[in-house]
Chains A and B, each alone.
Chain A
Amino acid sequence: MNLLDSVRESVGPAIFDYAVSPLLKIMVLIFMGVLPLISYLVLAERKILGFMQVRLGPNRVGPWGVLQPIADIAKLLVKQDIIPSTAIRWAFILAPCMVVAPAFIIFAVIPFGPSAAQSGGQLDFFITDVNVALLFVVAMATVGVYGIILGGWASNSKFSLLGGLRAAAQMISYEIPQGFSLVIPLLMAGTMSMNGIVQAQFDQGRWFIFQGWGLGLVAFFIYFVAGVAESNRNPFDLPEAESELVAGFHTEYTGMRFALFFLGEYANMIVISAVAVTLFLGGWHQPFPNAGWASFLNLQWLPLVGPGLAGVLWFSAKLFAFLFVYIWFRGTFPRYRFDQLMDLGWKWLIPMVLLTVFGTGLWKILQ
């Protein structure tokens, strides 16, 4: 603590509180939480996909394949790092970082557990509580696309370029329904702060997915479909479409640079799931937090679990459910054709989301 205090003295309390301290917290969260989660998410994906295809998945490295992620990371780190001679060098190097960084920055506004005041503990289980958190999420999620386009462009290869341009078209189409679908929980809660939205769901006694004549469910559905498209996952993985474009925007990438794109994709999955949990599924609260009969769900009968850890556990449980759905989609659906993708985005999701926003406004007035 002394070291932190002296740093706070030297850079000035304002800069420390608003820049240095959140960055440090993000680093801790990412290195302690998100990176291990991602590496094991990859393993879980391979296992579950294997099970869905009636095979075993990786099972050679360690029991049940649990050391596979470590072997993968070691392989990626020692692989030869190739920059094509025709590539635009600085853009080629910059692109993977531009994909990963925004995905990680979004973790700054996601509350994954109760605050110190709520849990009576010492730790805040969130990094910052910004009052425009929702806008921040939308803005940062958009920045990630630039990395993909830049990577596709800088590679100087037709496959990469096609992949990058597909990513651009897809993002433009799906950003609109996604952005609008975030308006619905915003209308329901009356605040843009993530903590505020969680609190509003607690106060109204209902997850927003069940709120407002079922409009919450529609909004949630649209958000999730658009989110799958945003994170370039099946069935919307057109930017990397293996069967058509070799590997799409990361065709020319090897080793750790490729791994960064990979990391970005999985971090995006986690971010979109975490935002969905926060906005629609009550955040870190247990189900039925206000009902007396459901009080056993607070998990505090478990050893070592206080209110803070219980919140984190519930948040992770909901998050994992979402990540499972992502993997489930990948195991189930074939890739959309490009015109079908545009059809779905512009002819179905955008009208649907506009109607839903209108309906939610009506619900808010009549309430």
Chain B
Amino acid sequence: MSAVKNFLDRIMLLDLFAGLGITFRHIFKKKETVQYPEERLEPAHRFRGMFRLDEDRCIKCTLCARDCPIDIVYIDWHQELNPVTEKKEKLLDRFDIDVQRCMFCGLCEEACPTKPKSIWLTSKTYELSSYDRWENLYVDIDELQDWKIRPAYTDKEVV
């Protein structure tokens, strides 16, 4: 019996017509295309985008620089007497990240001992392409703290 059915299927080309039906129905479906420069998808909640740094929270322990597997975090600091509290404080001279080699592994964020973290990657900032890797992908402390100089990549506020 199944042989007869098979033969009929082959003669009537039922499976071919089923396939044609599927493609025809897809013509009217909602399209998945995101028209990129005009529309953007918001990255997932735990998406690792560009770094951000909070200098006030940072205790200048340099653990992030130590844990970085490719040593692209450069930190220089010095101690200075705070005239108000009369205590010695660490002050940052330099906090640079050479993002062009970064693989966004997030180990720096994991290593950070402060709560909340003073360096983090969940910033939803992902448009990092540039015409010059040295100019735009070597970021210093000002840039790490202020993302206003980079465009907001979602309609939502960049965290």
0/1 interface trace, chain B 145-159, chain A, CB 8 Å (1 if under): 000000000000000
Evaluate contact between B23 and A52: CB separation under 8 angstroms: yes
Question: Which chain B residues lie closer than 8 Å to A56 at the CB level?
Answer: 31, 33, 35
B4 contacts partner chain A, Cβ-Cβ < 8 Å: no
B29 within 8 A of A: yes
Contact B31 A52 (CB under 8 A): no
Check A54–B23 contact: CB distance below 8 A. no
Query: Once the chains bind, are A51 and B27 in contact (CB under 8 Å)?
Result: yes
| Alpha-carbon distance A332/B28, docked complex (angstroms) | 15
Chain B residues positioned under 8 Å from A331 (CB to CB): 23
A51 lies within 8 A of B26 (CB): yes
Contact of A48 among B27, B29, B31, B33 (CB under 8 A): B27
Is B24 among interface residues, defined by CB-CB distance under 8 A? Answer: yes
Assembled-state Cα–Cα distance A337/B19 (Å):
18
Main DSSP-derived SS at the A contact region: helix
> What's the minimum C-beta distance from A110 to chain B, rounded to whole angstroms?
27
Cβ–Cβ contact A54 & B19, under 8 A: no
How many chain A residues sit at the interface, stated as a range, is 10 to 19
Please tell me if A328 contacts chain B, counting CB pairs below 8 Å: yes
Check B23 against A328 for contact (C-beta < 8 Å).
Answer: yes
Asked whether B16 is an interface residue with its Cβ less than 8 Å from the other chain, the reply is yes
Q: How far is the CB of A132 from chain B (nearest CB, A)?
A: 34
Bound form: Cα–Cα A78–B122 in Å: 47
Please report which residues of chain B, range 25-62, place their CB below 8 angstroms from some CB of chain A when the two chains form the complex. Answer: 26-33, 35
Interface size on B, residues (CB 8 A): 15
| Contact yes or no, B31 A54, CB < 8 A | yes
B84 at the interface (CB under 8 A from A): no
Return A324 CB to nearest CB of chain B, in Å.
Answer: 10
Across the interface, do B31 and A333 meet the contact criterion of CB distance under 8 Å?
Answer: no
User: Which A residues, 312 to 343, have Cβ-Cβ distances below 8 Å to chain B?
Assistant: 328-329, 331-333
B142 to chain A, nearest CB (A): 37
Q: How far is the CA of A51 from the CA of B31 in the complex (A)?
A: 7
Per-residue B-contact encoding for A41-62, CB less than 8 Å = 1, 0 else: 0000000101111111000000
Q: List the A side residues contacting B22 at CB < 8 Å.
A: 332
The verdict on B20 contacting chain A, using a C-beta distance below 8 Å, is yes
Complex: A328 Cα to B24 Cα, angstroms: 8
In the bound complex, residues from chain A placing their C-beta under 8 Å from that of B23 are: 52, 328, 331-332
Residues of A near B28 (CB, < 8 A) are: 51
Say whether A333 contacts B27, CB under 8 Å.
no
| Shortest Cβ distance from residue B136 to the other chain A in the assembled complex, whole angstroms | 27
Provide the bound-state CA to CA distance between A328 and B23, in Å: 8
CB-contact partner of A53 in B20, B26, B35, under 8 A? B26
- Pairwise interchain contact B26-A54, C-beta atoms closer than 8 A: yes
A265-293 contact mask (Cβ, 8 Å, vs B): 1 or 0: 00000000000000000000000000000
Q: Which residues of A contact B (CB under 8 A)?
A: 48, 50-56, 328-329, 331-333
Q: Which residues of B contact A (CB under 8 A)?
A: 16, 19-20, 22-24, 26-33, 35
**Beyond A50-B31, A328-B24, A332-B19, 11 extra complex contacts between A and B, CB < 8 Å:** A48-B27, A51-B27, A51-B28, A52-B24, A52-B26, A54-B26, A55-B33, A56-B33, A328-B20, A328-B23, A329-B20
- Closest 9 pairs (CB-CB, A-B): A332-B23, A51-B27, A56-B33, A52-B23, A55-B33, A331-B23, A52-B26, A332-B19, A54-B32
CB-defined A-B contacts under 8 Å, sample of 29: A48-B27, A50-B31, A51-B27, A51-B28, A51-B31, A52-B23, A52-B24, A52-B27, A53-B26, A54-B26, A54-B29, A54-B30, A54-B31, A54-B32, A55-B31, A55-B32, A55-B33, A56-B31, A56-B33, A56-B35, A328-B20, A328-B23, A328-B24, A329-B20, A331-B23, A332-B19, A332-B20, A332-B22, A333-B16
